[in-house]
Structure formats: structure tokens, C-alpha cells
Amino acid sequence: MENLLFISSLFLWGLMVFNILLTLGLARRISRQFPKMESLKPGQPAPDFTAWTLDGEPVTRAAYAGKETAFIFVSPTCGPCREEVPKLDLLRPQAEANGLLLVLVSGSGEEETRKFLEELGSTLPVLVAPPERTSFMKDYKAMATPSFCWIGHNGKVQRSGVGSFELGDQLKNYFRNGEKEVMSKAK
């Protein structure tokens, strides 16, 4: 009887070790499958891009030269984007009063993006940058939506990240703390 108990205990310990090794192997495999979310680093020059207006007119980085601009990358199929865009619309007047342009960048086509904005009642400026037509979102490392890249008037990245709620918080801090002076020094 004691022998059977000893063998059962060894078997259970062996099974537990096997389970731990299997779990570690799966975790390692999963971490390799998903790319790490990297964003542009503060101080680096903003990449050039080509995108289009809802009317199909081409727009390049040069159109925003000398202007402090926050590009907010969105998708019509993104649930959090649908929640955050109306909040950004409310922040727009304060942003513009402080010299900051808020510009949505959609990874979808013109018609889908137009419908998305109409459904939300958004009046934010928008650029269309489908990945099959331009590398804008890839070059700005917008691997998820919503995400953002804040470009200073000097053409360099000030901040970037995933989640427009993070951008909303940063905008509120920017307005509240007079952070404009601090950010303009990050050349």
C-alpha cells in the first residue's frame, strides 16, 4: 500500500513538472508570435508620409511642417476608437487654442472612414491611409488602434503611444500644466 502511495506521489510530481514545462513553452511561443508594441521615440524626426483626404487629395508630411500636430490612428472597426473620438472632438477647441492640431488617421478607405465619422458626428480633420496604399501607419509604428504620435512644430516626435485615452490624459495635463514650454524644449 505504501509503495502504491509513493508511486502515485511520484507520478503526480512528474505530471506537475511536465505541466509547468508545457506552460512555459506555450508562453514562450506566444510571446514570439506577437510583436512588441514599439512606438516612435521622443526627439526623433517624424517620418515622411503620403495619405489622402476624404475627397482623395494627396497629403504629405510637408502640409504639417512647422505645426504642432497629434496624429491619432483609428479604425472604423475599433470599439475603443468609437468611444474616444467623440472625447477628442470635445478637446479640439482647447487643443487648437494652444496651437495643437488633432488629426485622425484612418487605416480604412475613404467611404468606410466617412461613414465612421458621420456615425460619430466627428468634425476632426482626417487622413485616410490604407496599408495597401501607403506605409504611413507602419512608419509611425501604429500597430494598434487607437494609437497616437504627437509631432512638435520642429518636426520631431514629442510623444507617442497606444490608446487615445493616454493621449486624452496627456492633452489634459498639457493644458492644465502649461506643458507647452516643456515639450518645445524636447528638440
The model's pLDDT over 54-104, given as tens digits with 9 standing for 90+, comes to 999 999 999 999 999 999 999 999 999 998 899 899 989 999 998 999 999
Please give the residue that has the higher pLDDT: either 26 or 87.
Answer: 87
Could you give the CA distance from residue 127 to residue 178 in angstroms, rounded to a whole number?
29
Query: Which segment, 11-25, 27-41, 111-125, 156-170, is predicted with the most confidence on average?
Result: 111-125
* pLDDT surpassing 90 at residue 1: no
Please give the residue that has the higher pLDDT: either 1 or 101.
Answer: 101
The backbone torsions φ and ψ at residue 49, rounded to the nearest 5 degrees and listed phi first, read -155, 165
Q: In the structure, what pLDDT confidence band is assigned to residue 164 with cuts at 50, 70 and 90?
A: low
> What percentage of the chain carries pLDDT values higher than 70?
85
Render the chain in DSSP notation, one character per residue. Answer: -HHHHHHHHHHHHHHHHHHHHHHHHHHHHHHHHSPP---PPTTSBPPP-EEE-TTS-EEEGGGGTTSEEEEEEE-TT-HHHHHHHHHHHHHHHHHHHTTEEEEEEESS-HHHHHHHHHHHT--S-EEE--TTT--HHHHTT--SSSEEEEE-TTSBEEEEEE-HHHHHHHHHHHHHHTTHHHHHT--
* pLDDT surpassing 80 at residue 18: yes
> What percentage of the chain carries pLDDT values higher than 90?
55
Give residue 181's pLDDT.
42
Give the range among 8-22, 64-78, 119-133 with minimum mean pLDDT.
8-22
Output the nine-digit C-alpha cell for 186. Answer: 524636447
Give residue 31's pLDDT.
64
Q: In the structure, what pLDDT confidence band is assigned to residue 172 with cuts at 50, 70 and 90?
A: confident
Give residue 166's pLDDT.
64
Give residue 186's pLDDT.
34
Give residue 187's pLDDT.
34
